[in-house]
Amino acid sequence: MSEIKELVPASEFMRKNLGISSAPLEAYLNYGYALLAIAGADGEVSEAELNWLLNHQRLVGAPEEVIEKYKTFEYKNADLENLLSKITVDVSTWSKSRSLLYHAIQMSRADDDYSLEEQLAVKKAAKLLKVEDDIALALNRLVETEEAVTALRKALLQTEVLA
């Protein structure tokens, strides 16, 4: 008899941006744990990185009891490969590998210190996830471009604090 997994409805954001309408509770939990393991590869998940994760997971509809578990997760001893195997959603065309890598890059850069250890952890995750080197590089460049566009928007709308 197969195990019954508690499905959690996705947020409007996740439905609109990824086409995902629900995911198992375990998938939300392990997606965040995997992100913590990658961003914590330099020995620490900074406050900015943790805040990025908490805000992102709320945006996609992760339940608060899952979000609370992120705060105490022992990411330094995490088995990334095991965590990755527990992430599933209701859309067969969704690329868990690319999405997770993209979010790991965003989270690791949230504190403006994308350390060498974090970059190496992202590369290791890319290999585990079977994401080709050119796609991993493109995802890095996409995050950099999005950061530049945000800075440009702030400057144009005069919300950028000038030094």
Say if 78 falls within a structural domain.
yes
Looking at residue 147, its pLDDT comes to: 95
Residue 1: burial class (beta carbons within 10 Å; 0-12, 13-18, 19+): exposed
User: Is 141 within the bounds of a domain?
Assistant: no
Give domain status of residue 20, yes or no: yes
DSSP strand pairing (22-24 vs 7-9): antiparallel
Q: What is the pLDDT of residue 6?
A: 82
Q: Is 5 helix (H, G, I), strand (E, B) or coil?
A: coil
User: Into how many domains does the chain fold?
Assistant: 1
Cβ-based neighbours of 71, under 8 Å, separated by 6 or more:
50, 54
**pLDDT value of residue 73:** 96
Q: Given the structure tokens 């527990």, which residue do they identify?
A: 86
Task: Specify the pLDDT at position 1.
Answer: 40
Whole-angstrom Cα distance, residue 159 to residue 153?
8
**pTM given for the model:** 0.86
Tell me, what's the pLDDT at 161? 66
Residue 15's CATH number: 1.10.3680.10
Can you give the pLDDT at residue 86?
85
Q: Look at residue 32 and tell me if it is in a domain.
A: yes
102 lies in some domain: yes
Rounded (10°) angle between helices 116-128 and 133-156: 130
Give a yes or no: residue 158 inside a domain: no
Judge residue 33's burial from the number of C-beta atoms within 10 Å of its C-beta, 0-12 exposed, 13-18 middle, 19 or more buried: buried
Q: What residues in the chain have per-residue pLDDT under 70? A: 1-5, 91, 160-163
Looking at the domain assignment, is residue 142 inside a domain? no
Note whether residue 151 is domain-resident. no
- Which domain, by its residues, includes 46? 7-131
